[in-house]
Amino acid sequence: MTTATSMPTPEHDLLSLVQWLSPAFPTGAYAYSHGLEQAVAAGDVRSEPELREWLQDILEHGAGWNDAVLLACGLRGEDLGALADLARALAGTAERLKETEEQGAAFAKARAEMTGTCTNAMPLPLAIAEQAKELSISCEQVIALFQHAFASSLVSAGVRFIPLGQAAGQRVLAALHPTIAALATRAATATTADLAQSAFRAEIQSAAHETLDVRIFKT
């Protein structure tokens, strides 16, 4: 008869990270659209190709890139409090700030309830970094899985609201895999000097969402 070892292994660490980033983990990610709901309502995103292009721009030039850099800095052991302040300053709209802080707080609460320890509430990428830096997983892999979870959540929002079929949504997500992999490689060695954001339409739609008459998503 064999018994499970209590010592963590790389495989266990990977499963822990996948659990934290899964839709089942209670961060409430399904409730946020990152301004996509407004983009759909305004007619900017109406099809599978438009959703793919919209999400690729966010990943490469918007909050996707900045969150990846902040996550990398946190994983390398930089001061999380200072990085959290920077993350808040980089949130271009009130809803972007709400999105990252509420999900970060929900993540910290869930982790605290799981482990019985105190976990700091911070913007989401730094809340993840605080826990994931103890895992025996490469920085690049943590970033890739974090961004895949982010893209998956927005694809799900697009499937529900555009609406698209499930197959179309999965094609969009699969098409973003090369972008996510390349972004993770670049971000793994990036510093705060590399932070930059130019996904202006996403920011504008995020701001406009604050006054959208009928809303399904929080952001």
The first and second tokens of residue 65, run together, are: 């890139």
Domain ranges for the chain: 33-207
Structure confidence by residue, pLDDT tens digits, 113-138: 988 877 778 999 999 999 999 999 99
- Stretch among 1-5, 78-82, 153-157 having the lowest mean pLDDT: 1-5
Among 1.10.287.1080, 1.10.4190.10, 3.40.190.120, 1.10.8.60, what is the CATH number of 33-207? 1.10.4190.10
* Separation of alpha carbons 37 and 95, rounded Å: 12
* Separation of alpha carbons 84 and 121, rounded Å: 10
Per the CB < 8 A criterion, the answer to whether 121 and 105 are in contact is yes
Question: Computed from CA positions of residues 208, 210, 213, 217, in that sequence, does the dihedral angle turn out positive or negative?
Answer: positive
Please give the average per-residue pLDDT across 10-28, as a whole number. Answer: 93
* Separation of alpha carbons 132 and 178, rounded Å: 23
Structure confidence by residue, pLDDT tens digits, 72-93: 999 999 999 999 999 999 998 9
* Separation of alpha carbons 158 and 84, rounded Å: 29
- Ramachandran angles phi, psi of 197, nearest 5°: -150, 125
**pTM, to two decimals:** 0.93
